[in-house]
Structure 1
């Protein structure tokens, strides 16, 4: 019996070791022409580029053929699903999937805003899995002139006044009609959602330019599909301008990374309770030129493949 327990302990230990997760960060550089970049971290603080800083996937869809704001989610089917901004003024978003983050399916455009003749764009798409309805919710930012409450000095923002829209899918082949997802009384882009403690936390930017906000706030809902209260938290970021939030659980902390885009560098805040946030921007380091990334976990087996590419 003792021998059996010993063998079982060894087996379980090996299994746990084999299932150990590491952290990846998907991002773009420059304007996004050369595509998908990846970095890794063992502690959530120091991020090192993979593939010698070269792209893993070159964009082929969209008017501008860009791959900005790449967001990657490992699905319930074991596949990595990626969406991205395919062009500055596209009414579509890009999509591809992969088993190993190296070999990707043929890229396609999802025409999320084609039904809106005056829609200006489809920016920074992300996803969350809805376990209740067993489907993925893809959400992004779009400006439709005259549709929402005015933003003071929106002309300074080239007339942009964003709200979050969404579509839903179970197979990434058929998609539900686009609908309004989050409609606060301010312009918002770059939302991301973290499932935690039976809630869904949305981190988003307040983009209002006058008086300047450009900071990250939080709201949460009991269901992935919402509704998310439009009365959001006070800023969790500092006096700098921040955009492109992405979340990662590392040990007892939730990290929120973001692009300090006027300073051309990345920052971060972290919390143990989702209420009190500590700015740790001076503790994080990212690859040179990193833009609008998303953080996620992968197995050591996937990491080994990426390092050996």
Structure 2
């Protein structure tokens, strides 16, 4: 977060997990999951986001996509590059939101804002339609209001009682503080006059809805650097009442509610302030109980530099189609097992684990190629220094230029084995010192013999993207 920007004024994003179910013949069987009737075929998730990093090297204000089969571990698409970028307004977006419409396709809406020009007051939002999130059509910018203020963090939900979609967003109205406004629409092109949807008497942004969860509608929002819930038995403007204990990890914004497709678990994602922000997750099995428990960072990995996320369920066919069309990353990141907030990176040509996020973020991206000395093993090629590889030298792991010698090839080759602390993770045994494994010690990487439980944890990593 920039120090000159008040915490309550930071634009963010939120999510609601879609609209009502599609009515096409191929999608006639539905299962109610609370936020929307979900297709029985839904078995995966798509995430939308924009990107920022501490020194702005990873800043990009287009729509990025990632996919997951468990809603916790994510594969960025298109090499973590945008799949579509606005061509009008500010020329960039923040706070994207993806929703499946009642016709089975998707609508994408987003804040009309590029970068951190908080004084840019747009009365419009970006909108695209998409049949499959592989192509984006009918770009437009509906005008939501005539107030001299912004239209931050839009999301939408189907209001069955009105037979229309509701678009909610943050704006400053006559109260002098941010409230959540609402416009109604059938096509995301023509909208009704704006109304105040939620004003508890203090500054609120980033509204995120879960509709009809056992007859109750839930609205999570950001207030004073925390995530707070409100609820109502109707979707009427003015009907929501705050009820929850604030949740945060430092200053937190952009609540995103996600219902598991395979269990009764709800996840609440939140985003600490940009550009040094980190995504954190909490979980509960009962929204009404207001008992959120932090999810261990060992259990989830989000796309590098992802900010202000939106998550929606998709079918297995859509998941496969997105991977086939956009492609999985050509690189990997390695996360520490016992310090899961830290990733393997090079700094001054030495290998270490550092706390995410950092710049250059490409220091933590590796191509795992066939081993230079043995193709059954692997070597770690740097993405941003492609002539350099991780190798050990006096048992220290560092990033050196491949000099073409057999000695270098041996030092730069490792064998991936089941994680020494957790078999579902990975460990890396030295090719020419087979009793030694890559491990961290005081955050620096080296190859050592492994004997204790601490050693095993230090030598265990996840391989993801």
- State the TM-score, normalizing by the size of structure 1: 0.82
CA contact (8 A) 2:225 2:248 kept: no
CA contact (8 A) 1:121 1:143 kept: yes
Any idea what the Cα deviations from partners look like across 1:225-270, whole Å, max 9, x if unmatched? Answer: 34433444220x2351111111111121111111122652100111
Determine which of 223, 232, 240 is the counterpart of 1:229: 240
- Confirm whether residue 302 of structure 1 aligns to residue 318 of structure 2: yes
- Superposition deviation, residue 59 in structure 1: 1.1
Contact 1:201 1:219 in 2 (8 A): yes
How large is the Cα RMSD of the aligned pairs?
A: 2.1
Structure 1 position 58 matched with structure 2 position 85: yes
In the TM superposition, what is the alpha-carbon distance from 1:224 to its structure 2 partner? Answer: 2.6
Return the match for 1:148 from 161, 172, 175. Answer: 175
Give the whole-Å Cα distance in 2 for the aligned partners of 1:34 and 1:238.
25
Checking the alignment, whether the CA contact within 8 Å between 1:35 and 1:59 is kept in structure 2 is yes
CA gap 1:306/1:182 in 2 versus in 1, 3 angstroms = same
Structure 1: segments with no counterpart, 5+ residues: 1-15, 150-160, 207-212
Asked if 1:22 is matched to 2:49, the reply is no
Do the aligned partners of 1:259 and 1:291 also contact (CA within 8 Å) in 2?
yes
Secondary structure of 2:128 counterpart: strand
Q: Tell whether the 8 Å contact from 2:231 to 2:241 is kept in structure 1 after alignment.
A: no
Which has the larger Rg? 2
Task: Tell me by how many angstroms 1:205 deviates.
Answer: 0.7
User: Which structure has the highest strand share of the two?
Assistant: 2
Q: Which runs of 5+ in 2 are unaligned?
A: 1-30, 32-38, 114-119, 326-465
Residue 107 (str. 1) matches residue 139 (str. 2): yes
The structure 2 residue matched to 1:75, chosen from 73, 81, 101, is: 101
Q: Residue in 2 aligned with 1:4?
A: none
Tell me, yes or no, if structure 1 residue 241 matches structure 2 residue 251: yes
Residue 34 of structure 1 and its aligned partner are, at CA, apart by 4.5
Q: What SS is found at the alignment partner of 2:311? A: strand
| CA distance in structure 1 between the partners assigned to 2:42 and 2:158 by the alignment | 22
- TM (norm. structure 2) is 0.55
Equivalent-residue separation in structure 2 for 1:59 and 1:38 (angstroms): 15
> Given the alignment of the two structures, is residue 47 of structure 1 paired with residue 74 of structure 2, yes or no?
yes
Task: State how many pairs are aligned.
Answer: 270
- Find 2:164's aligned residue among 132, 135, 158: 135
Partner of residue 126, structure 1: 155
Q: Which residue of 2 aligns with 1:11?
A: none
Counterpart of 1:180 in structure 2 is 196
- Show the counterpart of 2:452: none
TM-superposed CA distance for 1:175, in Å, is 1.2
1:279 and 2:294 aligned: yes
Query: Offset at 1:90?
Result: 1.0
Q: Does 1:214 align with 2:221?
A: no
